[in-house]
Amino acid sequence: MRKLPPLNSIRAFEAAARHQSFTAAAAELSVTITAVSHQIRQLEARIGHKLFERTGRAVTLTPVGKTIYPLVRDGFDQIAEAFEVVSGHVDEDSIQISATRAFAQRWLMPRLSRFNAIHPDITVHIHGSEKTVDLGAEDIDLAIRYGPVEMDQQDSVILEDRYIAVAERGICPEDRVPTIEDFRQRPLLAYKWENPALNAPDWSAWLALVEHDQTVDFRVSWYSEEMLALYAAECGLGPLMCSNVLIDEELRTGRLRRIEGPCLPGFSYRLVEMSSPRRKKSLGRFTKWLREEARSFRDKSAVTDRALKGTSL
């Protein structure tokens, strides 16, 4: 006879460890946060080891918790697979991906044909939104989130961006590196962030680090969306400060040129999977491919950065 701790305690531990949150675990299990906390304390008392470190609202696994969690997770996966034998399998050939509209259009979609060529049997659905979606409510398998990350989220990061000032090749001087003074007759292009909490880099922060005539202010032309501002820059309406991740191809082809000036630190793109006791095989294949594409992008970007520094920024 197996000597197991109470199943409810094991379920509470697995959900809290997977989410790294008692609140999210409680929502998944349809119980109160107090109930989750009680079940985990009960489990800790049963095994004689602490499983979580609690810092405010955040929770992280202790060394013992990290040892136990993969085994418990795999056990629940096997249980789920056992019942899928008789209840029908999960739709393995279809995955739902959420990302910001700019990232989806300018980085992900141009590369998606390569995934389709490798895995023609997997259908990828793209959900573009600037808002943080509820993966469970929207039936999203994987979200590519953009913003600052905590130390314990570093493993989920695939890309980190920087903000640089660029302009369309046709409005730049041909014989030298463009400077911001070359665009006095044009407005600086800018866009409004839907998430004001990001505190994103702006022209004021960039200009503060650049030598320029401060007796005359630049005009600023505002756009309601990032994609509109990017298109305006490509049309030659003025210079734009934007994420290097979104304009890598344009920089490499020379369609956009970097304006002399600093790189401002941006944010990270990280992966967040929908909580599920069983992970789709198709999602595992997509995530593996995505990480490989991100690694290739980082390598090519490093080459581009060296070339730009050696020639025209």
159-265 maps to which CATH number?
3.40.190.10
pLDDT for the residue 311: 52
pLDDT for the residue 281: 86
* Confidence check: pLDDT of 313 > 50: no
Q: What proportion of the chain, given as a percentage, has pLDDT over 90?
A: 58
* Token digits of residue 286: 């997509």
pLDDT for the residue 61: 92
* Confidence check: pLDDT of 312 > 90: no
Strands (DSSP E) found in the chain: 52-55, 58-61, 94-99, 123-128, 142-147, 157-168, 188-191, 220-223, 240-243, 256-258, 264-273
* Confidence check: pLDDT of 276 > 80: no
User: With b meaning 16 or more CB within 10 Å and e meaning fewer, what string describes 177-198?
Assistant: bbbbebbeebebbbbeeeeeee
* Token digits of residue 32: 């109160």
Contact 160, 268 (CB under 8 A): yes
Mean pLDDT across the stretch 112-120? 95
7-87 maps to which CATH number?
1.10.10.10
Cα dihedral sign, 260-263-266-271: positive
Mean pLDDT across the stretch 135-159? 86
In the predicted model, what is the mean pLDDT of the chain? 87
* 21 to 14, 15, 28, 33, 273: CA distances (angstroms): 11, 8, 11, 10, 14
More confident residue, 162 or 21: 162
Query: Are 94-155+268-300 and 159-265 in the same CATH fold?
Result: yes
Q: What tens digit of pLDDT does each residue of 209-265 get?
A: 998 888 888 999 999 999 999 999 999 999 999 999 999 889 989 999 999 999 999
pLDDT for the residue 283: 92
* Least trusted range by pLDDT, from 58-62, 107-111, 115-119, 189-193: 58-62
Mean pLDDT across the stretch 174-191? 95
Q: What tens digit of pLDDT does each residue of 295-307 get?
A: 999 888 777 666 6
Cα–Cα distance between 36 and 33 in angstroms, integer? Answer: 5
Cα–Cα distance between 145 and 85 in angstroms, integer? Answer: 34
Contact 272, 171 (CB under 8 A): no
pLDDT for the residue 84: 59
Identify the band that residue 1 occupies on the pLDDT scale cut at 50, 70 and 90: low
Q: What tens digit of pLDDT does each residue of 30-84 get?
A: 889 999 999 999 999 999 999 999 876 678 899 999 999 988 988 877 776 666 5
User: Taking the domains of the chain in order of start, what are their residue ranges?
Assistant: 7-87, 94-155+268-300, 159-265
Contact 141, 280 (CB under 8 A): yes
Cα–Cα distance between 147 and 159 in angstroms, integer? Answer: 11
Give the residue among 69, 77, 245 at the shortest CA–CA distance from 157.
245
Mean pLDDT across the stretch 260-287? 86
pLDDT for the residue 23: 86
* Confidence check: pLDDT of 308 > 80: no
Cα dihedral sign, 42-46-49-51: negative
* Least trusted range by pLDDT, from 27-31, 39-43, 118-122, 193-197: 193-197
Domain 94-155+268-300 matching CATH 3.40.190.10: the answer reads: yes
Q: What proportion of the chain, given as a percentage, has pLDDT over 70?
A: 89
Q: What letter represents residue 304's amino acid?
A: T
